[in-house]
């Protein structure tokens, strides 16, 4: 699935480059996405994800109300959003970020598949505070380059991985926060204990990072189990969107 998405994304980027003019006159001060998350007074520091659909779940919200969802998250105490902008498999739109920012004061992670440095400048232009990088989709050289470019634009970076083979790519990356995805993006299978297992197996390599546990959470007892084991940062979408959490 990841390979299919990336192939489609490459075609999309080539078209977008032809029609979208990057404005290089913008504020490059740090956006403080993660500072806001870490300073949240919530019991569970959750990045609330907004998405209409996903390859694993199909259409999640038929009655998709972008601003309504964002307001509901904010009213529940969530200080950070993840907004899907990938068009083909998640039915996202780039305009979603600007639409939220025009009405609400909240930090936003652009959730997409970044494989070209041009996308980082585009993320800044559309109002993102943070970008997602997926280790499995990038080489180590690309990861370090993209992190450098993002920092120069004042953007935070959530670098995520699932497969333990990716540890060698990310262990020395110049970031303070890392994401461990409980979902395998190739098979779409989810193991709720995967993040904790990887953290514990690779303590030496990962101890310097604040870890964001991603995907698969459906009950508060799972969040409590993670918190008891030293991880209290989460990225959650489907369960929140369906009202399970």
Catalytic residue among 49, 86, 136, 238: 49
pTM for this predicted structure: 0.94
pLDDT, one tens digit per residue, over 76-116 is 999 999 999 999 999 999 999 999 999 999 999 999 999 99
How many domains is the chain partitioned into structurally?
1
Q: Look at residue 68 and tell me if it is in a domain.
A: yes
Q: Look at residue 26 and tell me if it is in a domain.
A: no
CATH assignment at residue 67 = 3.20.20.70
Q: State the pLDDT confidence band at 68, using cuts at 50, 70 and 90.
A: very high
Contact 245, 73 (CB under 8 A): no
| Residue 160 clears pLDDT 80, i.e. is over it | yes
Buried b (16+ CB within 10 A) or exposed e, 47-83: bbbbbbbbebeeebbeebebeebbebbbeeebbbbbb
Alpha-carbon distance of 158 to 161, in angstroms, equals 10
Q: Is 244 among the catalytic positions?
A: no
pLDDT confidence of residue 242: 82
pLDDT confidence of residue 25: 61
Catalytic residue among 80, 125, 135, 215: 215
Q: Is 215 among the catalytic positions?
A: yes
Q: Which domain holds residue 182?
A: 2-19+33-241
Q: How crowded is the C-beta side of 189, counted as CA atoms within 13 Å?
A: 5
| Block residue for tokens 């950070």 | 80
Q: Look at residue 151 and tell me if it is in a domain.
A: yes
Contact 156, 33 (CB under 8 A): yes
Q: Is 17 among the catalytic positions?
A: no
Q: Look at residue 126 and tell me if it is in a domain.
A: yes
Q: Is 51 among the catalytic positions?
A: yes
Q: Is 45 among the catalytic positions?
A: no
Q: Is 160 among the catalytic positions?
A: yes
Question: Tokens at residue 110, please?
Answer: 């652009």
């Amino acid at each position: 699935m990841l390979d299919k998405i990336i192939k489609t994304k490459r075609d999309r980027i080539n078209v977008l480059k032809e029609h979208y003019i990057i404005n290089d006159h913008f504020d490059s001060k740090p956006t403080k996405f993660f500072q806001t998350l870490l300073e949240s007074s919530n019991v569970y520091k959750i990045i609330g994800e907004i998405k209409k659909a996903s390859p694993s779940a199909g259409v999640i919200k038929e009655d998709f109300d972008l601003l309504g969802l964002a307001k509901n998250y904010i009213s529940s105490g969530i200080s950070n959003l993840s907004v899907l902008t990938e068009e083909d498999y998640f039915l996202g739109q780039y305009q979603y970020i600007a639409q939220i920012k025009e009405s609400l004061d909240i930090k936003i992670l652009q959730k997409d598949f970044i494989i070209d440095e041009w996308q980082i400048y585009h993320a800044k232009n559309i109002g993102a505070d943070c970008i997602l990088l997926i280790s499995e989709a990038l080489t180590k050289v690309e990861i370090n380059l993209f992190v450098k470019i993002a920092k120069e634009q004042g953007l935070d970076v959530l670098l995520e991985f699932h497969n333990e083979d990716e540890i060698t790519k990310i262990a020395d990356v110049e970031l303070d926060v890392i994401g461990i995805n409980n979902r395998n993006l190739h098979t779409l299978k989810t193991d709720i204990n995967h993040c904790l297992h990887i953290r514990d197996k690779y303590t030496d390599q990962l101890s310097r990072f604040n870890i964001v546990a991603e995907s698969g959470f459906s009950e508060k007892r799972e969040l409590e189990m993670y918190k008891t084991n030293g991880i209290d940062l989460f990225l959650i979408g489907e369960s929140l969107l369906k009202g399970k959490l």
